[in-house]
Amino acid sequence: MCSVSGSPCMFPLLILIIVPRTGLLALVSLCLCTMVRMNVLADALKSINNAEKRGKRQVLIRPCSKVIVRFLTVMMKHGYIGEFEIIDDHRAGKIVVNLTGRLNKCGVISPRFDVQLKDLEKWQNNLLPSRQFGYIVLTTSAGIMDHEEARRKHTGGKILGFFF
C-alpha cells in the first residue's frame, strides 16, 4: 500500500536487507509516489476560502502561476482581497495574499465551459447570489477579466471561476 495515497503503490521500491548477527533476510517495500496537483487554481482558491473562513489576515499560495496572478488581480481590483506579493524561490514560486475579510466564497468552474455573450446572464443567475453582487472570471482572447468587463468589451470566453 502507498503511504501517500493509501492505494496500491504504482512505483514500489523493494529492498532486500540482511539483518546483522542473525543472518535473516528482510524484504522492505518503500513507496516512491508523490501527490500530484491536478488544478493549481482550484487549490489556490480553496486555500483562500479556508483562510478567509478561519479569519486569517494572510494566506500563502504555492505554486505560483500566471492564471492565479491574473485571477487575484481581478479580485484585488474589486476589493475582495488586499494586495499580494509574489515570492520567487527559483522553484514554482509562492504568493502571499493579504485578506480583507470581505470575501464570502470563491471557487473554480471545472471543466472550463465556453460562454457566449448571450449565455452570460444564465451563468450569472446560476453562480452568483444576486444581480449586483459578485463576479464571474472569464478567460477571453483579450485576457482574463470579470463578466462585466467582458460584456463591455463584447467578448465571450471560457469560465475560470467566481467570487462574491
For the chain, the structural domain boundaries read 1-36, 40-99, 106-163
Residue 18 pLDDT:
76
Contacts of 71 (CB under 8 A, 6+ apart): 41, 44, 45, 137, 144, 160, 161
Residues in the chain: 164
Residue 65 pLDDT:
96
* Strand, helix or coil for residue 44: helix
Specify the CATH number of the domain 40-99. 3.30.1370.30
Phi and psi torsions of 67, nearest 5° = -65, -45
The amino acid at residue 140 is T
d(CA 104, CA 149): 22
Look-up of cell digits 500500500? 1
Question: Which triple of cell numbers denotes residue 23?
Answer: 543472518
d(CA 74, CA 80): 9
Question: Which triple of cell numbers denotes residue 160?
Answer: 475560470
- CATH fold, domain 106-163, is Dna Ligase; domain 1 (3.30.1490)
Contact (Cβ atoms closer than 8 angstroms) between residue 123 and residue 159: yes
Question: Tens of pLDDT along the chain (164 residues)?
Answer: 565 556 666 667 777 677 777 777 777 776 666 678 899 999 999 999 999 999 999 999 999 999 999 999 999 999 999 999 999 999 999 999 999 999 999 999 999 999 999 999 999 999 999 988 999 999 999 999 999 999 999 999 999 999 99
d(CA 40, CA 154): 29
d(CA 134, CA 109): 15
